[in-house]
Amino acid sequence: MKLLNNLVLILIVLASSARAESFVYITDQVDIPIRSEKSLGNTIIRLLPSGTKLSVLQITEDGWTEVKYQDTIGWISSRYLSNNISAREELKKANSIINESQLLITKYEAELDGQNKQLLILNNENKELVIRSSKSEAEKTHIEQIYQDALKLEHENEKLMQEQLQLKTEFQLAQNNSQIEQDTSQRNWFIVGALVLFFGMVIGFILPKMLNRRRF
């Protein structure tokens, strides 16, 4: 057993010499003393809890390791040291990570809930915008239809005005033609009357003379 411990110590020494600086951890569940000397006498400098990280300065074959913790340098029995963190400390660390993860999850869930609420608000606003857009589109279509109807009415009005102007022109021409016909008719009747009067006067003047000649 002692030979096995010596081999372990030799391996630790070789590992520590291969690296510029190495670390070990206290593995016992109770506080472990760090001593000023390699002895179990009244040489305790301070007590360190399990999981404390220590810098290795040197390892001796008699089962002691010189370590440094903050500004303290001393000796600890090598059997209380390990190159790995103890399972209890690993569990504590894992629980700490889990707790932090749960806090993050809670935070993200709260943020997600807030984003979902914001998304719901945006969806409602989007629905209102869609409704408004539909109403605006319907109003636009209605206004365009009114505009088209107005253009159509304006076109028909222009057409009616042109027809009215044409009718006025034709009526005026008809009136002018009628007046011309009336004037022609009156002139013809005047000529006829003048001729009748002339022939009457001629007959009235010549006929008595002819009758008087036949008597003589």
pLDDT tens readout for residues 108-134: 989 999 999 999 999 998 988 999 888
pTM over 0.75: no
Reported as a single tens digit per residue, the pLDDT across 77-98 is: 888 888 877 677 777 778 888 9
Residue range 14-45, pLDDT digits in tens:
444 444 567 776 665 678 888 888 887 778 88
CA dihedral over 60, 62, 68, 71, signed as positive or negative: negative
The residue that leads in pLDDT, 180 or 123, is 123
| Residue 50, both tokens | 């399990």
Pairwise pLDDT comparison (26 vs 206), residue with the higher score: 206
Flag whether pLDDT at 64 surpasses 80.
yes
pLDDT: which is higher, 163 or 84: 163
Query: In percent, how much of the chain has pLDDT > 70?
Result: 81
**What is the mean pLDDT of the segment spanning 6-19?**
46
